[in-house]
Copies of this chain bind each other. A is one copy, B any other.
Amino acid sequence: MSGGPKFPQVEFADARGELRGSYEDMQAVLRVPWVMFAARSLAVFGGFVPAAWRVSRTTFATRHLERCADELRAMAILPGDDPPDPRPRLAGLGFVESRVDEVREALRALNYGNAKYLLLITAWCEGIQGRASGGAGAVAALEDTVPPGPPAGMAALSMVDPRDVSPRVGGLLRRVTDMHLHHGPSSDFRVLANWPDFLQVALDDILAPVVRTAPYEATAQALLTRAREQVGDLPAIAGLAPDAALAVCSDAEVAAITGLLFLFQRFILDVTIDMVRCTQALDGSDVASASPFPVP
């Protein structure tokens, strides 16, 4: 992460017109309380986000998609022992149990959404690279939808602005960025930065020991492989193809989008693993591997 300028993006609060409509619809259909960093960054490039979301939305409203996300979330648990419970160290920092509950609720929303965004970016990534992004699954699955809107009891999320944080929080966000070889802090870590003590303990004890180790890399690879299979088996095409992208973007913008989708796909893989691991540290692997908002 650079200590310098913020990575170009259109934040939810700044989105207008068709883009604002896409952001709102994306949150409603996916039933999540944030728009992924990837989409906010891609929004800088022509008309890609509204056009791509229009292609994806029908498939992403299905119970089938919900099942795919549930499977990926369960796969995001790293092999080996549970990470250490952060509460003893947090208690020593005066971090009370009610604040742990706030973190837990934020993690539930993030874990619910990350697996869906992993599928969305994989569909967009395959589509823009000219590969199959759905259409091999039974079309009847399109009829079986999940009602839009946030699940009952889902927490709202607030992200810190990395340009406007204390030196301590800035240092923590730089650390998480560089630890993953990312280009900036993800939405998820901008949320966790609301609780700097938790973020610090999570980095020290839950994430730093595993990030970019061989089992972590193998888990990311397995998630990617499975997400691609699932995308191919979606009931309808879910990713915008290059020719369609060129109808709403210049060719240089399509190149930019291709690069950013590749970068953010790895980014979301990492964050999916990380947030599941934080929940595992708090509540064990059974809770971490289950959907936080199961759809019957």
Chain A residues 1 to 55 lying within 8 A of chain B, measured CB to CB, are: 1-5, 7-8, 41, 44-45
Please state the number of chain copies in the assembly.
2
Nearest B residue to A44 via CB reads B252
> What CA separation (Å) do A183 and B129 show in the bound complex?
5
Interface centre among A4, A212, A262 (most CB of B within 10 A): A262
Question: Which 3 A-B residue pairs are closest in the complex by CB-CB distance?
Answer: A2-B130, A259-B259, A256-B256
With A4-B242, A218-B214 known to touch, is A129 a contact of B251 (CB < 8 Å)? no
> What CA separation (Å) do A41 and B254 show in the bound complex?
12
Shortest C-beta distance, A205 to chain B (Å), equals 23
With A131-B178, A218-B214, A252-B44 known to touch, is A5 a contact of B242 (CB < 8 Å)? yes
- A243 sits at the interface (CB 8 A): yes
- Report how many residues on chain A are interfacial, defined by Cβ distance under 8 Å: 43
Chain B residues lying within 8 Å of A155, measured Cβ to Cβ, are none
Given contacts A8-B251, A259-B260, 14 further A-B contacts (CB under 8 A): A1-B129, A2-B242, A5-B243, A5-B246, A8-B254, A41-B255, A183-B262, A212-B221, A214-B218, A214-B221, A256-B260, A259-B261, A262-B262, A263-B263
Shortest C-beta distance, A8 to chain B (Å), equals 4
Nearest B residue to A128 via CB reads B183
- A258 sits at the interface (CB 8 A): yes
Chain B residues lying within 8 Å of A63, measured Cβ to Cβ, are none
- A181 sits at the interface (CB 8 A): yes
- A85 sits at the interface (CB 8 A): no
Chain B residues lying within 8 Å of A257, measured Cβ to Cβ, are 259
The 0/1 profile, CB within 8 Å of B marked 1, for residues 72-114 of chain A is: 0000000000000000000000000000000000000000000
Asked if A7 and B243 sit within 8 Å, CB to CB, the answer is no
> What CA separation (Å) do A264 and B260 show in the bound complex?
11
- A226 sits at the interface (CB 8 A): no
Nearest B residue to A261 via CB reads B259
